[in-house]
Amino acid sequence: MPCRITMLFSDGQELETLVTDAEIARYTHSSAHQWLGREFEEAGCVPSNPMGKLLAADKVLTLAETRTRAVYESTSPWVRDFFAATAAAIEAPVVTINLIDHTLGY
């Protein structure tokens, strides 16, 4: 099933993208978590709770904050991979990445 991802940026701007079935199918649930985890580490992200388990939502939100809106507006391979891995990891038809309130809705 395709996934509609909406990003809300700190400046109040919104970006919406549709992740196709074919894009999502490139990842299993497990490989999506692995991709997000690898990118999380490579970006130098720090878990919000160093004592607890790092959840997919934490990876997506924290990793999303490492790039600018201009990056997400591009169609770069990294952006498409980020959206596809997010969709495969969250497994929901609609995902909202809210960078204003630091929340993930689905």
- In three-state form (DSSP H/G/I as H, E/B as E, the rest C), the secondary structure along the chain is CCEEEEEECCCCCEEEEEECHHHHCCCCHHHHHHHHHHHHHHCCCCCCCCCCCCCHHHHHHHHHCCCCHHHHHCCCHHHHHHHHHHHHHHCCCEEEEECCCCEEEC
Express each pLDDT in 11-38 by its tens digit: 999 999 999 999 999 999 999 999 999 9
Pairing of strands 14-19, 103-105: unpaired
Single pTM value for the model: 0.94
CB 52 within 8 A of CB 45: no
Residue 52 has pLDDT above 70, yes or no: no
